[in-house]
């Protein structure tokens, strides 16, 4: 019996011992926690289910501002961290248990409000770190002035945020680093403005919030922390007073200097650089008709400056000519009625004397905006109108005079051909094709370039004669149809007619064309090299013909793509529309320049053709020209003519018309 009792006692002792051993142990000291978390390979999962390292370095804890804390001071019993071992997924640390005021401030900020809506929103640890939290004074701290921009960039350059369709927050880090503030931070100048100096820290709010430090109305005050002297001047000026009065159209610091990429005025990329400030800073508001009407600024303030010597010189690259700031000051801009204004009648001469030491009151009045206003300077406007009328009549008369002379020479040359032997070079149908191609091409060029370059000097003239957009687009399409018709007409001609076959054969490129081109260039360079003997068409005419054929195909195909984009995109990818548009434009430029530079030279300006070849009118060339420039063709026609006389038929013959 005693034996069984002893064994029962042993069993009870074993059960109690096992229960004690298997019971969770309270994790009450850092050593217990680090026994697991100092393992560099320890990995767990966060609350979002993502894999995360759970390694904690004892050294990082020792360096932290919380070095005198125990782990359970932050990872509290209430969160389930007192059990050992604890569950794999437990609530995150609540910093607000100690930092309640800061936490409340943070939760009311832009970042704090975003936490409930976006999982990518920053938390306390995003900026301060986790276990190695360092003091702001420590250069290694994530929130030290030197490192704050890099800390902020962890989120603000993150694709998850910049590509978030609900945020679309454009990364400003690179722009900031290119600016004077970012470059100063890189150099280790702690006094330079970091992100939190302008946006705030825990109380960061969106710019739309009236309490935000970067709100349009509050921004000058924020900048004043570093630029107080400029802030005082700005506050005294008309812009600062207007903004303080609630006129949000009035510019603040960032409207002129930029937001993140703030550059020195001496930098060519700075909006307040001498070369840029008038166009890209002052002109943004003072050339806006809406603002001019709303605040009675005068709609011509900017344009009158541009028309003055100062404005023209700046546009021409001058670095000395006066800009808006030269006369109106940069920050303390005041209206002329204010006695302290640099453009007040009592001060204007002194202002002008900054650049013109001999300036007087009359000189100062000659360079005001009013001096360039038509209603204020009636005499100038009258003289301008007189000269416009004079130019129209004088230059128009000269053009008419010269046109009469030129036409007379063309008519005389045309009549002279009736008294000399000629050769029929083109049929009536070929002359018609050339005429229709010429008309359609000219209309296409004018109406096409008018769409692409609406600001060109000649485009307003189209509106004067009634060619507005609706008419322009219709004319362009009519001309396109005419070009397609004449192209089809020509294809039928060369495919189904005997003369067309012979013309196509004569136009085919041959190896001899290259030899003849080389010989022709040598002939004009040296003079002692004989001119080549060409057939019916020389290498220049063949090049023009095939360039026209190829160009027409390209223009028709791309033109139809742009005319019917819905049909085009039903079987082609979207990018083909833009590529087609680019090809259409540059092929038009290529064709236009080729006609002006190459074709017009050989039919108008060439010494042997001047003042104009008349072949395009009657299809004939003189026998002299045929023998001199196309001797091979002449010999071919002689042979064919002899064959005809001997009974052999041919479509070519020497036509000695007079």
pLDDT of residue 178: 93
Paired with 52 in beta bridges are: 44
Interatomic CA distance for residues 658 and 654, integer angstroms:
12
pLDDT of residue 654: 53
Helix H or strand E segment including 417 = none
For the domain covering 421-645, report its CATH number: 1.20.950.20
Which regions of the chain carry the CATH code 1.20.950.20? 421-645
CA angle 164, 168, 172 (to 5 degrees): 120
pLDDT tens track for 377-409: 788 888 989 999 999 999 999 999 999 999 999
One-letter-per-residue 3-state SS of 444-468? HHHHHHHHHCCCCCCHHHHHHCCCC
Stretches in the chain below the pLDDT threshold 50? 18-27, 648-653, 656-658
pLDDT of residue 19: 47
Q: Using CB atoms within 10 A of its CB, is residue 165 exposed (0-12), middle (13-18) or buried (19+)?
A: exposed
Closest CA to 263 of 191, 349, 177: 177
CA 470 to chain centroid, in Å, comes to 28
Closest CA to 540 of 595, 482, 481: 595
623, 525 Cβ separation under 8 angstroms: no
601, 608 Cβ separation under 8 angstroms: no
Q: For the chain, give percent helix, strand, coil, nearest 5.
A: 60, 0, 40
pLDDT of residue 230: 95
Compute how many other C-beta atoms are within 10 angstroms of the C-beta atom of residue 249. Answer: 14
The one-character DSSP state at 91 is P
The one-character DSSP state at 208 is T
The token duo for 527 is 């003079």
């Amino acid at each position: 019996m005693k034996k069984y009792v002893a064994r029962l006692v042993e069993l009870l002792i074993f059960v109690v011992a096992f229960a004690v051993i298997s019971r969770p142990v309270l994790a009450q000291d850092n050593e217990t926690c680090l026994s697991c978390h100092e393992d560099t390979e320890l990995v767990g999962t966060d609350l979002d289910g993502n894999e995360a390292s759970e390694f904690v370095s004892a050294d990082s804890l020792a360096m932290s501002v919380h070095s005198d804390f125990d782990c359970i001071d932050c990872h509290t019993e209430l969160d389930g961290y007192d059990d050992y071992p604890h569950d794999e997924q437990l609530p995150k640390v609540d910093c607000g248990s100690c930092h309640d005021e800061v936490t409340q401030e943070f939760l009311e900020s832009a970042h704090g409000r975003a936490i409930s809506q976006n999982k990518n929103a920053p938390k306390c640890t995003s900026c301060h770190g986790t276990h190695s939290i360092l003091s702001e004074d420590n250069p290694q701290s994530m929130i030290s002035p030197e490192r704050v921009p890099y800390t902020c960039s962890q989120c603000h350059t993150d694709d998850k945020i910049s590509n978030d369709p609900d945020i679309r927050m454009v990364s400003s880090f690179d722009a900031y680093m290119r600016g004077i503030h970012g470059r100063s931070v890189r150099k280790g100048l702690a006094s330079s403005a970091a992100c939190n100096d302008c946006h705030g820290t825990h109380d960061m709010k969106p710019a739309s919030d009236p309490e935000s430090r970067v709100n349009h109305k509050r921004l000058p005050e924020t900048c004043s922390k570093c630029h107080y002297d400029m802030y005082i001047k700005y506050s005294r000026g008309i812009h600062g007073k207007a903004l303080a009065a609630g006129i949000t159209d009035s510019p603040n610091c960032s409207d002129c200097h930029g937001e993140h990429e703030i550059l020195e005025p001496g930098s060519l990329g700075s909006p307040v650089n001498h070369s840029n400030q008038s166009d890209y800073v002052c002109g943004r508001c003072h050339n806006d008709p809406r603002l001019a009407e709303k605040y009675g600024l005068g709609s011509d303030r900017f344009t009158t400056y541009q028309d003055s010597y100062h404005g023209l010189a700046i546009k021409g690259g001058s670095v000395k000519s006066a800009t808006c700031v030269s006369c109106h000051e940069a920050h303390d801009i005041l209206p002329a009625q204010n006695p302290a204004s640099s453009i007040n009648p009592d001060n204007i001469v002194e202002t002008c004397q900054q650049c013109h030491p001999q300036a007087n009151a009359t000189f100062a009045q000659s360079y005001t905006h009013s001096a360039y206003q038509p209603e204020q300077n009636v005499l100038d406007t009258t003289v301008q109108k007189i000269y416009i009328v004079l130019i129209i009549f004088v230059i128009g008369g000269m053009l008419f005079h010269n046109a009469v002379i030129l036409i007379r020479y063309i008519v005389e040359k045309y009549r002279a051909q009736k008294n000399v032997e000629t050769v029929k070079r083109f049929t009536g149908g070929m002359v018609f094709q050339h005429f229709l191609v010429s008309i359609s091409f000219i209309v296409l060029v004018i109406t096409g370039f008018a769409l692409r370059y609406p600001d060109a000097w000649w485009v307003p003239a189209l509106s004067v004669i009634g060619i507005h957009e609706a008419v322009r687009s219709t004319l362009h399409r009519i001309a396109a149809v005419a070009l397609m018709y004449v192209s089809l007409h020509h294809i039928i001609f060369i495919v189904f007619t005997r003369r067309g076959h012979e013309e196509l054969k004569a136009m085919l490129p041959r190896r001899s064309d290259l030899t003849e081109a080389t010989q022709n260039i040598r002939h004009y360079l040296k003079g002692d090299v004989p001119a080549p003997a060409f057939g019916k068409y020389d290498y220049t005419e063949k090049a023009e013909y095939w360039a026209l054929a190829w160009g027409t195909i390209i223009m028709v195909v791309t033109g139809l793509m742009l005319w019917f984009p819905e049909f085009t995109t039903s079987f082609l990818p979207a990018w083909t529309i833009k590529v087609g548009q680019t090809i259409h434009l540059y092929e038009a430029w290529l064709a236009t320049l080729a006609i002006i530079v190459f074709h017009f030279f050989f039919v108008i300006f060439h010494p042997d053709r001047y003042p104009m070849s008349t072949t395009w009118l009657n299809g004939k060339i003189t026998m002299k020209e045929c023998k001199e420039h196309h001797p091979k063709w002449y010999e071919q026609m002689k042979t064919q003519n002899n064959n005809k006389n001997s009974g052999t038929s041919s479509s070519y013959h020497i036509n000695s018309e007079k």
